[in-house]
Amino acid sequence: MEWRKLMCQKFGRRASKKWCAAAKNILLVDKGIKQTLLFDHWAVSAQEMEDFLLTSHDARLTENRILTLTVGLDIFLFRCGGGDGALVSWSFLCDDGTRRPQTFIDVSKRLELPVILNEDDDRISETKRVFEDCVRQMTVVEGERQVVHRSVDISETLNVPCLFGLLLGYPSVYWYDVSESAEHCLSSLPLHLFCVEGVLQDGVCDVNFSSVGQGKVKDSDSEKNRNCAQLPVSTCSGNNGKAKNYVTELSTTVSKVKDSSDIHTILSFTVPENVVHLLGSSLHEWFAEWKSCVPWSRIFSDVRLSEQKTEPQAVCL
């Protein structure tokens, strides 16, 4: 069975246009290249997704079991067990089992400009605690067959965009004081956009996304034409009223190594321009270590970190 047939069978018309982009991202989780995927291609319930993932594994579309973690109304996918860049992967934990440090950037509304928070700041302790609970829930043994509903309740004090950034593995994440305001200070501020991009190997689409003989699959949505980068953002209206707490799309110019449809954005994040000079070297070191630890060569012939300055008029977190 192929990806398109199974997705349309399980999700109907919802999957008709975006099945290929969804299949690529699920495959990145399966191969251990993305530690988690926030599924936003179309509205889906946790039960629907769990049923689909089990069927896709039985149909050998995935090598590993992909499981779900529900955070509020949003669904994260992650890979079950394994040791080569799978679950609780490099981006989550250091070799000694401690949480890998990530930079927290305070973008609270009261500030004129964002500032970097101390890792030990008590204000981010709640978000870190919930994140660590998520990681514990995702630590499962390989070969687990039964469907287990893993979920996280969202409290009034939890900074959801910050939690999502941690789960997605961004080296720097935005935090703001939700007790003061649901807004932030990023609007109209220049941001530095970092994108981890991969050049798909020849034949990857043929083997993994289409039936034999159909030729290379071209995404039916806009991803192939404009190489969308995804910015960390705040709450915007999503499918069926869901809160999309994590990203917005921004057109970005990408140098053409091959045809633009061969370039895939693995992950992307922004850093305020006023603090990027404080983080620039550490972000490049982060990427160098990511490149050496993550098994990206299973899908891509090359990966790179692109960056550019952008000045969005509004940023939704």
- Residue-wise pLDDT for 204-231, tens only, equals 654 444 432 222 333 333 333 333 333 4
pLDDT single digits (tens) 158-173: 899 999 999 998 999 9
Q: What is the pLDDT of residue 205?
A: 53
pLDDT for residue 15 is more than 90:
yes
Choose the weakest-confidence range: 90-99, 163-172, 300-309. Answer: 90-99
Which amino acid, residue 193? L
Q: Read off φ and ψ for residue 136, nearest 5 degrees.
A: -60, -40
pTM of the model: 0.79
Q: Report DSSP letters for 14-74, one per residue.
A: GGTTTHHHHHHHHHHHHTTSSSEEE--SS---HHHHHHHHHHHHHTTS-SS-EEEEEETTE
Q: What is the pLDDT of residue 231?
A: 41
Q: What is the pLDDT of residue 255?
A: 36
pLDDT for residue 244 is more than 90:
no
Q: Read off φ and ψ for residue 230, nearest 5 degrees.
A: -110, 125
Contact indicator for 205, 216 with CB cutoff of 8 Å: yes
Q: Looking at residue 310, what DSSP letter applies?
A: E
Nearest to 300 by CA among 221, 199, 208: 199
pLDDT for residue 136 is more than 60:
yes
Strand order in the sheet with 115-116: 115-116, 103-106, 172-175
Q: Compare 315 and 298 and report the one with higher pLDDT.
A: 298
CA-CA distance, 178 to 137, in Å (whole number)?
A: 25
Which amino acid, residue 309? K
Confidence of residue 297 (pLDDT cuts 50, 70, 90): very high
Q: Read off φ and ψ for residue 69, nearest 5 degrees.
A: -130, 120
